[in-house]
Amino acid sequence: MEFVIGGLAGAGATIFTNPMDVVKTRMQLQGELRARHEHTARYRGILHATYVIAKTDGAMALQKGLAPAMLLGFTMNSVRLGMYHIAEVQGWTKNKNGNVDIKRAILWSSLSGIMSGVFGNPASVIKTRIQAAAHPSIAVGRQHKYKGMLDGCVQIYKAEGVAGFFAGVNATCTRLAIGSAAQLTSFSAMKENLKLHGYFERSPTMLAFVASLGCGVLCVLLETPLDVVNTRLFNQGPASSKGPTYTGVLDCLIKTYRTEGLHGLYKGIGPLYLRIAPHTTLSLVIWDMLNNLLLHNKHS
């Protein structure tokens, strides 16, 4: 049941945050491996990108890839939050005094993040490619024409085999190990700290809400460079006659930094924050509420 609760929390939050994910994907792909003065920016910021996408491709384009995004949200969070909740319940994240042990919490949140990355990678690949597809006048990055999630699965399998679904999996697992450690450990620690000082004793929802607010900033600062790498590895597709654009995580990081500078590694940080912050808050609050409801029903 813990895994289902985690999955529902992630899928529910995705509905509200997917538009920012579309904007983030487009901004991370524009000017790929080109210096800033060598290309014209199709998207000049969050608001401009949102306007251009809605005007050119239609308002519903801001919800492109929603089906694989929700599948990703359910899959990743069912594994990540489910594993971490079990570790919490079993006391594996606490010390002898019953308080949160930062080292143990980091260990279990990182492990849960890595496992969620493996299970969620196929949906991430499909989601990214569908979100990147746009009208030629505003298209950035390699364009993949999929009719939907199932068609995307078929085309990827035909062109790239099973390996195509696990493009960028190393970056995914690394990013999620870091992001989950930052998110879940800080969430647990902040909740405990607020409880110790007597805050929100009668309002577990508000406790979860306040504790989740600080998680988004830390996550986005640590995750953005690897998120840029993820987006580009997901989207590169089958190798051309010249070979693949990127041979792996390190190769992508080096090429991006050399051609685009530090700015290139932090492309899309604005929409990424606007996606991660509410997604973190919504998913953690929903997760906490459902866990409290399950605990209440067990006691009843």
Burial zone of 46 (CB within 10 Å; 0-12 exposed, 13-18 middle, 19+ buried): middle
Burial zone of 219 (CB within 10 Å; 0-12 exposed, 13-18 middle, 19+ buried): buried
Which whole-number Å values give the CA distances from 184 to 52, 92, 174, 279, in the listed order?
Answer: 35, 14, 15, 13
pTM of structure: 0.82
Instruction: Quick: pLDDT tens for 90-114.
Output: 999 888 888 888 889 889 989 998 9
Q: What are phi and psi of 243, to 5 degrees?
A: 100, 175
Binned at pLDDT 50, 70 and 90, residue 235 comes out as very high
- Lowest-confidence segment of 38-52, 121-135, 136-150, 272-286 by average pLDDT: 272-286
Total number of residues shown for the chain: 300
The domains found in the chain, sorted by start residue, are 2-299 (1.50.40.10)
DSSP 51: H
